[in-house]
Amino acid sequence: MKEMVKYNNTLNTLQFKNFSAMDYNVLMCLCHKMRDQGDKELKFSFKELKELTDFGNHSDKLFAEDLDRMIDKLIKVDATVITGDEKSRFILFPTFRINAVQGTLTVSVNKDFSYILNEITGNFTKFELKEFAELDGKYTKTMYRIFKQYRKTGWWKPTVEEFKAIMDIPNAYTNKIIMRDIIKPTIATLSDKFNGLTCEPIKAKKRGAPIERYYFKWQAEKQIAGQTNINDAEDELARYNNKKVKKSTKKSNYNDFMKNSYDFEELEKKLVRN
């Protein structure tokens, strides 16, 4: 069964300043491992994390140092959520304990914002962890996540300012540099994963006609009526094996839906359907 990353799209709005490609691998690995675990603390071995993040056969000491650097960047992320008149700022993972001797990492998710990784049924981004980890470069990984968010619409049209912010691009980079060194190489890398992927710079209708947006387009994912996506069915089975989902009518504070439950036979049918 594939290791799938799935999280609320709120995560894609955060700016991960100075993150490296490996930092993103570790972050997405933690999102995968902490999904549907509530806010409880969990302990993971370095061995497992290194395998999932494509870290290679480097020493535990080096991995612990890299973890520490990533955590230092992560706690500085400006994570803000605005709901009505209320503005909340938070740290998604408030607990990190690294034991370099035992080779373990202990993590917990912020209780107030656990909805980002728990009970996700809509407004989410989903992709295979292995495929993500094998991508080169932080810009490629970030665009991959965004394209996966808009997988069913097949387009994304950020302003230049929005693009620079979410991609963590230096302000000194001109549009020419961005197109040449970031967008074009990334499109070449991701074209086999997003059919027909292109980017058209959109000019403003004012003096000098500066570039004001980047219009990314690709072939949207389509699901045939009556069919269940194999990854979605596998996803439900993984959730079932992780914990027995019970029927509930309790309303979520962050999701406007009634919690559903599935039995094993129903999930098994999803996998074999068609």
Domains of the chain: 1-134 (1.10.10.10), 230-272 (no CATH)
Predicted local confidence at residue 87, as pLDDT: 87
CB 32 within 8 A of CB 5: yes
Contacts 24+ apart (CB under 8 A), 90-96: 92/11, 92/116, 93/30, 93/34, 95/41, 96/67, 96/71
Predicted local confidence at residue 223, as pLDDT: 60
Q: How confident is the model at residue 57 (pLDDT cuts 50, 70, 90)?
A: confident
More confident residue, 238 or 223: 223
Taking all residues of the chain, what is their mean pLDDT, rounded to a whole number?
A: 84
pLDDT at 60 over 70: yes
Q: How many angstroms separate the Cα of 181 from the Cα of each of 103, 168, 187, 216? A: 38, 14, 11, 16
Phi and psi at 143, nearest 5°, equal -65, -35
Predicted local confidence at residue 86, as pLDDT: 87
Q: How confident is the model at residue 11 (pLDDT cuts 50, 70, 90)?
A: very high
Q: How far apart are CA 161 and CA 202, in angstroms?
A: 13
Predicted local confidence at residue 152, as pLDDT: 94
pLDDT at 142 over 90: yes
Q: How confident is the model at residue 158 (pLDDT cuts 50, 70, 90)?
A: very high
